[in-house]
């Protein structure tokens, strides 16, 4: 891993350049005390929660952009089983079904205070073509792990939320503000469930106090120089843009090819984009993460992170080169995900197409991104077609009572963890809620290893029973602290 030497070199260069002023900032760069009483886990059964998650994994709620390919029966069985597994939740909370099967629950408090919204979608991505070592829809609980598609993304989060709500509802607890639980049925295909929920809130004049959805987690060993756990809480999401690059030709027999044909021009366009990545910039959200985590770093790292604001260009370049994950934090990324040419081996392509999956950095827009693509490609015979897109989400505030409560709940369950803001590089249902709230946070309260993170959307997705239990403890503590 190249992160350590790159950032250490950047730190040495920065300190040498800054002298006494940088040294003074390092001296003031100290971790703030953040001790809170531990969360109470009484009444939450880790093994029972794991078994219930296993049952829900066994129902293959695989979403698809083409509704004709969706097994509506599986989603109906999921909704039915959810009501059976969490009877107190379904007795106390009001439930409505939105669209094709998104679920919106309301737990009334009897107050007019703005509500807390807890989110976790229940649709999952396909497993086709993946080499699983176990049946991906077995929901197997074995040796302290729950295995299967959706274990983390995102049925695990839904179970953690419902375990917390169920235990409190069974005990007769009434929250201090309304609590909504939203579970989308089409998040993985950028569907409409969350948009319908947002519209329902708008129609009813409701502005959430806070929204918590999937995103960051409790991770260790991923931030240079900080060996302990870091709870990264998403404040914003990068934008999402789909683009087709299309080149056309008259075609003909493959025995008489045309130089510079459609595939060649398309390939040249792709290579130009690959050779000219978007510029790396350190946005304030990423700077906040560096500031929070860097206070716990030693030596040269501490010197770099203490002076991150003054050393933005140096740090942005170092992060861009450190790893693909760090690179995604500091620039707009372009991934070629589909290539298409002729439909026959001996026929020249009349149309060559490449699809670009683009994640837009904060501070840029769909339009500015498309404009740059055209400038870099510099070929009018290659058409740039936008297939869909959305600008980056607004940045949520950290100076709110809600963010403080979220941080306190993290420390109550993970006392050694550093709480740090984070930029979500994927897209989630939460981005729609940013239209009605300035306190939308992307955070899964699970401590996840590198292997567990790498298994998301891939083979052998899994979550530990212990992590699932800690997630339920987190949500219950958060609700009780309202």
459, with CB counted inside 10 A (0-12, 13-18, 19+), is middle
| Higher-pLDDT residue of 295, 270 | 270
- The alpha carbon dihedral of 179, 480, 293, 417 has a sign of negative
Question: What is each CA distance from 416 to 38, 51, 168, 219, 227, in whole angstroms?
Answer: 11, 29, 26, 11, 11
pLDDT at 27: 53
pLDDT at 127: 97
User: Does pLDDT of 8 surpass 80?
Assistant: no
Q: For residue range 296-314, list pLDDT tens digits in order.
A: 877 777 777 778 888 899 8
Domain(s) of CATH 3.40.630.10: residues in the chain: 46-230+395-480
d(C-alpha 344, C-alpha 254), whole Å = 10
% of the chain at pLDDT higher than 90: 81
Residues 217, 447 contacting (CB under 8 angstroms): yes
Please compute the mean of the pLDDT values over residues 29-42 and round it to a whole number. 75
d(C-alpha 400, C-alpha 390), whole Å = 26
Please compute the mean of the pLDDT values over residues 466-477 and round it to a whole number. 98
Fold of the domain spanning 46-230+395-480: Aminopeptidase (3.40.630)
pLDDT at 307: 82
d(C-alpha 292, C-alpha 286), whole Å = 10
Q: For residue range 427-452, list pLDDT tens digits in order.
A: 899 999 999 999 999 999 999 998 99
pLDDT at 176: 98
Please compute the mean of the pLDDT values over residues 405-412 and round it to a whole number. 97
Query: For the chain, how long is the longest CA-to-CA vector?
Result: 79
Bond into 154 cis (ω within 30) = yes
pLDDT at 29: 56
Please compute the mean of the pLDDT values over residues 389-396 and round it to a whole number. 95
% of the chain at pLDDT higher than 70: 93
Best mean pLDDT range from 218-222, 315-319, 362-366: 362-366
d(C-alpha 478, C-alpha 17), whole Å = 45
Tokens, residue 107:
């737990």
Q: Give me the helices (H) in 107-228, please.
A: 155-170, 193-203
pLDDT at 31: 60
User: Does pLDDT of 3 surpass 80?
Assistant: no
Please compute the mean of the pLDDT values over residues 5-21 and round it to a whole number. 50
Residues 119, 182 contacting (CB under 8 angstroms): yes
pLDDT band, very low/low/confident/very high, at 295 (cuts 50, 70, 90): confident
Q: What is the DSSP letter of 124?
A: B
Please compute the mean of the pLDDT values over residues 194-216 and round it to a whole number. 97
Is 1.10.620.20 the CATH classification of the domain at 3-31+236-390? no
Tokens, residue 359:
């994640």
> Which range, of 143-152, 297-306, 352-361, averages the lowest pLDDT?
297-306
Q: For residue range 77-133, list pLDDT tens digits in order.
A: 999 999 999 999 999 999 999 999 999 999 999 999 999 999 999 999 999 999 999
Q: What is the DSSP letter of 240?
A: E
d(C-alpha 154, C-alpha 25), whole Å = 41
Residues 279, 330 contacting (CB under 8 angstroms): no
Q: Which residues contact 207 (CB under 8 A, 6 or more apart)?
A: 114, 201, 436, 437
Mean pLDDT (the chain, rounded): 92
d(C-alpha 25, C-alpha 41), whole Å = 40
Domain(s) of CATH 3.30.70.360: residues in the chain: 3-31+236-390
């Amino acid at each position: 891993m190249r992160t350590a030497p790159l950032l250490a070199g950047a730190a040495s260069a920065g300190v040498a350049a800054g002298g006494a002023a940088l040294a003074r900032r390092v001296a003031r760069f100290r971790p703030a005390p953040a001790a809170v009483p531990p969360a109470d886990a009484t009444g939450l059964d880790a093994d029972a929660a794991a078994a219930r998650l296993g049952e829900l994994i066994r129902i293959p709620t695989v979403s698809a952009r083409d509704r004709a390919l969706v097994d509506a029966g599986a989603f109906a069985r999921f909704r039915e089983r959810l009501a059976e597994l969490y009877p107190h939740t379904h007795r106390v909370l009001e439930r409505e079904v939105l669209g094709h099967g998104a679920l919106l629950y309301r737990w009334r408090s009897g107050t007019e205070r703005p509500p807390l919204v807890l989110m976790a979608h229940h649709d999952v991505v396909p497993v086709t073509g993946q080499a699983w070592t176990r049946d991906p829809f077995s929901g197997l609980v074995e040796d302290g792990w729950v295995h299967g598609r959706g274990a983390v993304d995102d049925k695990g989060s839904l179970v953690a939320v419902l375990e917390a709500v169920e235990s409190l509802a069974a005990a007769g607890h009434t929250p201090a503000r309304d609590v909504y639980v939203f579970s989308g049925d089409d998040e993985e295909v950028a569907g409409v469930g969350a948009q319908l929920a947002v519209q329902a809130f708008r129609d009813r004049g409701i502005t959430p106090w806070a929204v918590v959805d999937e995103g960051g987690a409790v991770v260790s060993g991923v931030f240079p120089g900080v060996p302990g756990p870091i709870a990264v809480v998403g404040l914003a999401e990068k934008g999402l843009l789909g683009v087709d690059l299309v080149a056309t030709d008259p075609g003909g027999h493959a025995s008489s090819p045309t130089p510079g044909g459609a595939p060649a021009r398309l390939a040249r366009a792709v290579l130009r984009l690959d050779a000219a990545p978007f510029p790396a910039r350190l946005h304030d959200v990423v700077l906040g993460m560096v500031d929070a985590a860097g206070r716990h770093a030693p030596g040269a790292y501490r010197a770099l992170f203490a002076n991150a604001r003054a050393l933005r260009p140096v740090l942005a370049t170092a992060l861009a080169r450190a790893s693909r994950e760090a690179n995604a934090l500091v620039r707009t990324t372009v991934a070629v995900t589909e290539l298409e040419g002729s439909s026959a081996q001996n026929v020249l392509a009349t149309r060559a197409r490449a699809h670009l999956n683009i994640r837009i950095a904060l501070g840029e827009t769909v339009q500015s991104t498309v404009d740059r693509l055209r400038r870099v490609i510099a070929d009018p015979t290659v058409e740039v077609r936008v297939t869909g897109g959305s600008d980056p989400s607004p940045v949520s505030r950290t100076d709110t009572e809600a963010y403080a409560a979220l941080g306190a709940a993290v420390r109550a369950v993970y006392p050694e963890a550093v709480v740090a803001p984070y930029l979500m590089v994927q897209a989630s249902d939460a981005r729609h809620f940013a239209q009605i709230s300035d306190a939308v946070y992307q955070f899964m309260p699970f401590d996840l290893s590198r292997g567990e993170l790498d298994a998301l959307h891939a083979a052998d997705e899994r979550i530990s029973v212990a992590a699932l239990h800690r997630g339920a403890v987190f949500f219950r503590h958060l609700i009780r602290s309202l």
